[in-house]
Chains A and B, each alone.
Chain A
Amino acid sequence: MKATAEESPKKKEKIYDKGIEEGAAQLTQEKVHQVVKQMLAAEGGARLKAYIETCSHCGLCSEACHFYLSNDKNPIYSPAGKVKQTIGEVVKKRGNVSVDFIKDACEISFTECNLCRRCVMYCPFGIDVAYMMLFMRRICHKLGVVPQYIQDTAHSHSATMNQMWVKEDEWIDTLQWQEEEAQDEMPDLRIPIEKEGADVFYSVIGPEPKFRAQLIYQMAVIMHAAGVDWNMPATPGWDNSDMCMYTGDVEMMARLKKVHFETAMRLKNKRIVMGECGHAFRSVHDVGNRYLGWKMSPLPVVHAIEFYYELLRDRKIRIRNKLQQPVTFHDPCNIVRGRGLHEMARYVINETCKTFIEMHPNREHNFCCAAGGGVINCGPPFRNKRVTSNRVKADQLAEAKAKGAKIVIAPCHNCHGGLEDVIKHYELGMELKFLGDIIYEVMEK
């Protein structure tokens, strides 16, 4: 239990964010008090009270957090340390906090916690720090103090029902473009659009048509080869992603999930299969449905890992030659701690790759990518902090590399963003892939 932090916690470098600064400039002390008190009265319930009052300040959550471990065990980055600086202080002062306090609390809750819930597994009382950080974010949202980049994404969600300002015709055009491309390889391949009664409603996140259209291509090839009765919608509701869940805009989050579910239901599709994204899965399976009054999602929701697992288990797709390069696997928090898909993922890897090397810790105990929870979406101002605050991830990857791993598999878009930066910054020279990339590469077509 040797600690390496200095006697007094190190101060952080000041980061300028336009959204935080200009949002805060609109506020007065009175306005802050009024809004925060309203929030505490309206939404501060038994969970918040029990968590704050039960925490015995034992510090045992610290080593759960990659921010804490990567910043030389500086206690300001421990989960309970972050609560102390944000919502803990809000509750203690009954909302009587300053504008400057809100700016700091905004930066901490939005950019120094990935809401990965690893600390819930390290706190003896099971205190959900992610819940408290989200509570703080919601207060910031109500006050209009939100990092600019993620707020822009939330605006896109409000205006277009997708994350990336993709227009309706651009979306359809992208699907048809990918269909045409794929037809060079498989002439009878189709990307069915608006097909009523299909078995699978396939939804993706906004960045797929925007930056990673090849993933739609690859999934079309997999669906085609497996003979799946599938379709994608032509209308808003195709995007399953949800940054509003992370900005504290729960009303907008509920609207997004409603459109997503209702689009699948309008088409009378039997179940939703989602692409390789973690936060979107959390939103559809765990969080967004609750705000709409559904205990669980109104129709079955299946993450790509589980879908690939089914296809391989049932021999719907066959593997030509397993991938030769040794691979390692990063367990994304939202589908492992969020859905327990880790063993299915390992099944898929063992079916498609010749050599699999575990990184440690793994499964529920894996370290977060430091990009999730909306942190990467807070954009360039916070990039350096995000990457340097994930040195433990670099160490973990380097260890897998030393054992021979050449490729890192991460079945989540945010993890890809985070790991890409980590691999580059720490010069690890590892290749990053989705499970779909590998299946596409090794399958019989």
Chain B
Amino acid sequence: MHAIYEIISGPMVWLAFGLFILGSLYRLITMGRLAVKKDAVIFSYMSIFYALRSIGHWIVPFASVNMRKHPVMTVVAFVFHICLLAVPIFLFAHIILIYEAWEIGWVYMPNIAADVMTLAVIGACIFFLCRRLILPEVRYLTTYSDFLILAGVAAPFITGFWSFHQFPGHVVAGMLHIISGEIILVMIPFTRLSHMLFFPFTRGYAGSEFGAVRNAKDW
């Protein structure tokens, strides 16, 4: 057991971060090169001002018409994304690990906040799962990979919560937490989670075309 822990909390962490960072760079660079080769037109029309104007309207809750049409989805989606990013970065237990290794640390959130936010992520995943199963227009689009991605995102939060509260089997849960966290990092560049990388470009390009060429709003 100890040997497994050593591997997953040592070399595999490096591997996961390596694949995440290099994989993301690889995706961005290859996509950029493909754009230069086949879609050079994108660069002529991309406008920083209109790209940011559009992105701004889509990262602020309820700033677009469609967000106002789906208030529940909007709240859940924003809470989900904020918690998803904030919890792993500002969790006391994570910062302690980094401090012990390199003696660097940063501001951390109270454990109670981390608990609430973790449950929010898990709740949001259940909400997304229900949406996929119940709403016909979402179910029609859903593939098996969408369920796998959802499970992949929920797993580190479920196991983390389990492990932190020392529920029965928490040792195994802790190890599963580390492994699932590593898996999700690697998944980001190579699955639909890559929308994390490409969102600024797809949204920014739509904003540029709508703003600079068509003199219209896109939200």
Interface contact B39-A46, CB-CB below 8 Å: yes
> What are 15 A-B contacts with C-beta separation under 8 Å?
A3-B135, A5-B136, A45-B39, A46-B31, A50-B198, A50-B201, A59-B135, A63-B66, A81-B141, A84-B141, A120-B206, A126-B54, A286-B214, A290-B41, A296-B213
- CB–CB B31/A54 < 8 A: no
- What separation, in Å, do the CA atoms of A1 and B130 have in the docked complex? 12
Known: A44-B38, A46-B39. A51 touches B202 (CB 8 A): yes
Residue A299 is within 8 A (CB to CB) of chain B in the complex? no
Nearest neighbor of B59 in chain A, beta-carbon distance: A124
Shortest Cβ distance from A411 into chain B, in angstroms?
16
Contacting pair B38 A127 (CB below 8 A): no
Q: Which residues of B contact A365 (CB under 8 A)?
A: 65
A157 in the interface (beta carbon within 8 A): no
Asked whether any CB of chain B lies closer than 8 Å to the CB of A80, the reply is yes
Q: Contacts A126-B207, A337-B210 given; indicate if A75 touches B202 (C-beta within 8 A).
A: no
Q: Which residues of A contact B199 (CB under 8 A)?
A: 54, 124-125
Within 8 A of A (CB), among B182-206: 192, 194-195, 198-199, 201-206
Nearest residue in B to A285 (C-beta to C-beta)?
Answer: B213
Asked if B141 and A59 sit within 8 Å, CB to CB, the answer is yes
Q: Which 4 A-B pairs have the closest CB atoms?
A: A45-B38, A126-B206, A340-B215, A75-B140
Q: Which residue from chain B places its CB closest to the CB of A41 in the assembled complex?
A: B38
Contact in complex: B138, A50 (CB < 8 Å):
no
Give the residues in chain B near A340, CB-CB below 8 Å: 214-216
Contact A75–B143 (Cβ < 8 Å): no
A298 to B146, CA, bound (A): 46
**For residue A25, which residues in chain B have a CB less than 8 angstroms away from its CB?**
none
* CA of A444 to CA of B206, assembled, Å: 43
Which residues does chain A contribute within 8 Å of B217, judged by CB atoms? 121, 364
Cβ contact of A1, chosen from B39, B41, B70, cutoff 8 A: B70
Q: Which residues of chain B are within 8 angstroms of A127 by Cβ–Cβ distance?
A: 202, 206
Check A247 for interface membership: any CB of B closer than 8 A: no
A122 proximity list for chain B (CB < 8 A): 65-66
A119 to chain B, nearest CB (A): 10
A295 at the interface (CB under 8 A from B): yes
CA gap between A236 and B192 in the complex, in Å: 49
* Chain B residues, CB < 8 A from A285: 213
Docked complex: A57-109 residues within 8 A CB-CB of B: 57-60, 62-64, 68, 73, 75-76, 78, 80-81, 84
Interface 1/0 per residue, B44-70 and A, CB below 8 Å? 110000000010001000001110011
A125, B195: Cβ atoms closer than 8 Å: yes
Given that A45-B37, A50-B31 are contacting pairs, would A56 and B195 also be in contact in the complex, using a CB cutoff of 8 Å?
yes
Question: Could you tell me if B38 and A121 are in contact, using CB atoms closer than 8 angstroms?
Answer: no
Interface residues of B in 57-93 (CB under 8 A from A): 58, 64-66, 69-70, 72-73
Interface membership of B109, Cβ < 8 A: no
List A residues 24-54 near B (Cβ within 8 Å).
Answer: 43-47, 49-51, 53-54
A7: chain B residues within 8 A (beta carbon): 136
Q: Considering the chains assembled together, what is the distance between the CA atoms of A92 and B77 in angstroms?
A: 27
Q: Which residues of B contact A (CB under 8 A)?
A: 31-32, 34-35, 37-39, 41-42, 44-45, 54, 58, 64-66, 69-70, 72-73, 131-132, 134-143, 146, 192, 194-195, 198-199, 201-207, 209-210, 213-219
Roughly how many angstroms separate A180 CA and B70 CA in the complex, as a whole number? 58
* Complex CA distance for A81 and B141, rounded to whole angstroms: 6
On whether the beta carbons of A339 and B214 are closer than 8 Å, the reply is yes
A44 to B141, CA, bound (A): 22
- Does A336 touch B at the CB level, under 8 Å? yes
Contact A54 B66 (CB under 8 A): no
B206 touches A49 (CB 8 A): no
A338 contacts the other chain (Cβ, under 8 Å)? Answer: yes
Knowing A53-B192, A125-B199 touch, does A1 contact B72 (C-beta < 8 A)?
yes
Q: Do B136 and A9 touch (CB < 8 A)?
A: yes
Q: Beta-carbon contacts of A329-356 to B below 8 Å, as 1s and 0s?
A: 0000000111111000000000000000
Separation in Å of the A316 CB from the closest CB of chain B? 23
Residues of A with C-beta under 8 A to B32 = 46
| Interface contact B141-A57, CB-CB below 8 Å | yes
Q: Which residue of A lies closest to B207 (CB)?
A: A126
CA distance A338 to B218 in the complex (A): 11
In the complex with contacts A47-B39, A81-B140, A121-B198 CB distance below 8 A: no
User: Which chain A residue shows the least CB distance to B218?
Assistant: A121
Docked complex Cα distance between A336 and B216 (Å): 7
Q: Which residue of A lies closest to B190 (CB)?
A: A53
B94 nearest CB across to chain A (Å)? 26
Closest to A57 in B: B141
Q: Are A286 and B213 in contact (CB under 8 A)?
A: yes
Q: Which residues does chain B contribute within 8 Å of A56, judged by CB atoms?
A: 146, 192, 195
Query: Chain A nearest CB: distance from B124 CB in Å?
Result: 13
Closest Cβ of chain A: how far from B199's Cβ, in Å?
A: 6
Chain A residues positioned under 8 Å from B69 (CB to CB): 63
Enumerate A117-150 residues with CB–CB distance to B below 8 Å.
120-122, 124-128
Known A56-B146, A78-B140, A84-B141; further 18 A-B contacts with Cβ < 8 A: A43-B38, A46-B31, A46-B35, A46-B39, A46-B42, A53-B192, A54-B198, A57-B138, A57-B192, A59-B137, A62-B137, A75-B136, A75-B137, A120-B218, A121-B219, A125-B195, A296-B213, A337-B216
